[in-house]
């Protein structure tokens, strides 16, 4: 039975292609190298015998002779069919070999993992996520901790700049015509002129960057915080144990929710069992010991 995922399994053409790939690799594997050479030799003899027979029959002189083409056809094609059948049988044995079986199983597992991991886009996103996680492990821990505060600073600064830009566009005097606002807007215009932007375009670009800095800063701060916590050698590995239950009172056996009982200290004491041997048992034990010394009996119960 073929492998399945959510009720689906690879088709017959998929299995045919995998077995064909495996058969093409058999001449290069140690366990199937000799069998593949024998099968290839028989297939080569088949092709050669059929080609030579066809070429001989195509000669006009031979084709004009009576009965000769028939005999050549019988002999030549019989040899070709014989080698072809042997090659086919050996290829069938190769197709059932442990190498081909293992190769197809490996491809089935790859197919199953690809289906479980999702489509090409989902696998790509997972690969990027894994690379980011591996990249975070290579960054020095002090830089990761500093990145958390840089992300928070970027988010706060972006929020302040975005609010200031919004108030400036709204025409609030303190943020549009004030001395500080005029100085800041002039500096932005001069910086934009360096890269070929007008004053309005420079302010708009800075506003977009300020808005983008808020979520990016929050994400960066959260990622750095999570990474720093995961790599902190002093972090608690296990949670704190729950506080211990109050001690059990004398005479209480179960928890307070269960039925408790008191021991009865006034109950009569049980009669002690006399573990000593009786006179008859002592005499029997001495007799068995004497018999063992004399070697008189081989009974293991003596």
For the ranges 11-15, 33-37, 105-109, 254-258, the lowest mean pLDDT is seen at: 254-258
Residue 102 · residue 36 · CB < 8 Å: no
For the ranges 1-5, 107-111, 169-173, 206-210, the lowest mean pLDDT is seen at: 169-173
Whether pLDDT at 104 is above 80: yes
Whether pLDDT at 148 is above 70: yes
Give φ, ψ of 64 to 5 degrees.
-80, -15
Mean pLDDT, to the nearest integer, of 210-222?
84
- Listed residue (98, 223, 204, 200) closest to 152, CA to CA: 223
C-alpha–C-alpha distance, residues 230 and 195, integer Å: 42
Whether pLDDT at 236 is above 90: no
Whether pLDDT at 246 is above 70: no
Q: What is the pLDDT of residue 82?
A: 92
Task: Quote the tokens at residue 216.
Answer: 């990016």
Mean pLDDT, to the nearest integer, of 147-159?
85
Maximum distance among all alpha carbons in the chain?
130
- Listed residue (88, 72, 94, 76) closest to 26, CA to CA: 94
Q: 85: pLDDT confidence band, cut at 50, 70 and 90?
A: very high
Q: What is the pLDDT of residue 290?
A: 84
Q: What is the pLDDT of residue 241?
A: 52
Residue 161 · residue 204 · CB < 8 Å: no
For the ranges 1-5, 18-22, 120-124, 129-133, the lowest mean pLDDT is seen at: 1-5
Q: What is the pLDDT of residue 17?
A: 92
- Identify which has the larger pLDDT, 291 or 248: 291
C-alpha–C-alpha distance, residues 48 and 70, integer Å: 19
C-alpha–C-alpha distance, residues 162 and 214, integer Å: 9
Q: Between the CA atoms of 117, 120, 122 and 123, what dihedral angle is there, to the nearest 10 degrees?
A: 60
Whether pLDDT at 147 is above 90: no
Q: Between the CA atoms of 243, 246, 248 and 254, what dihedral angle is there, to the nearest 10 degrees?
A: -60
Mean pLDDT, to the nearest integer, of 284-289?
84
Q: What is the pLDDT of residue 294?
A: 73
Q: What is the pLDDT of residue 57?
A: 80
Mean pLDDT, to the nearest integer, of 192-212?
71
C-alpha–C-alpha distance, residues 57 and 78, integer Å: 15
Per cent of the chain over pLDDT 90 is 12
C-alpha dist (Å) from residue 301 to 193, 204, 284, 291? 114, 107, 12, 11
Residue 72 · residue 41 · CB < 8 Å: no
Q: 139: pLDDT confidence band, cut at 50, 70 and 90?
A: confident
Mean pLDDT, to the nearest integer, of 58-86?
84
Q: What is the pLDDT of residue 284?
A: 83
Task: Quote the tokens at residue 233.
Answer: 């050698």
237 CB-contact burial (10 Å; exposed 0-12 / middle 13-18 / buried 19+)? exposed
Express each pLDDT in 247-256 by its tens digit.
555 555 555 5
For the ranges 88-92, 161-165, 264-268, the lowest mean pLDDT is seen at: 264-268
For the ranges 24-33, 72-81, 110-119, 143-152, the lowest mean pLDDT is seen at: 110-119
């Amino acid at each position: 039975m073929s492998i399945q995922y959510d009720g689906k399994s690879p088709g017959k053409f998929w299995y045919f292609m995998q077995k064909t790939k495996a058969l093409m690799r058999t001449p290069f594997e140690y366990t199937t190298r000799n069998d593949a050479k024998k099968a290839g030799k028989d297939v080569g003899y088949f092709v050669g015998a059929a080609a030579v027979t066809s070429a001989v029959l195509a000669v006009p002189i031979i084709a004009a002779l009576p009965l000769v083409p028939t005999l050549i056809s019988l002999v030549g094609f019989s040899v070709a069919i014989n080698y072809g059948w042997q090659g086919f049988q050996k290829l069938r044995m190769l197709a059932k070999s442990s190498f081909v079986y293992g190769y197809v199983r490996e491809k089935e597992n790859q197919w199953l993992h690809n289906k479980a991991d999702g489509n090409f886009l989902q696998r790509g996103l997972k690969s990027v996520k894994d690379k980011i996680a591996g990249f975070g492990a290579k960054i020095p821990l002090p830089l990761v901790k500093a990145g958390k505060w840089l992300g928070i600073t970027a988010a706060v600064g972006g929020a302040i700049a975005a609010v200031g830009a919004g108030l400036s566009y709204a025409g609030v005097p303190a943020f549009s015509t004030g001395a500080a606002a005029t100085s800041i807007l002039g500096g932005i215009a001069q910086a934009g002129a360096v890269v070929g932007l007008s004053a309005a375009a420079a302010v708009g670009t800075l506003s977009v960057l300020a808005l983008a800095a808020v979520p990016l800063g929050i994400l960066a701060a959260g990622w750095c915080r999570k990474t720093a916590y995961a790599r902190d050698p002093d972090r608690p590995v296990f949670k704190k144990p729950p506080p211990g239950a109050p001690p059990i009172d004398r005479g209480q056996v179960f928890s307070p929710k269960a039925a408790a009982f008191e021991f009865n200290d006034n109950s009569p004491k049980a009669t002690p069992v006399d573990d000593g041997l009786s006179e008859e048992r002592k005499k029997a034990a001495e007799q068995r010991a004497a018999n063992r010394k004399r070697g008189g009996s081989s009974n293991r119960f003596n």
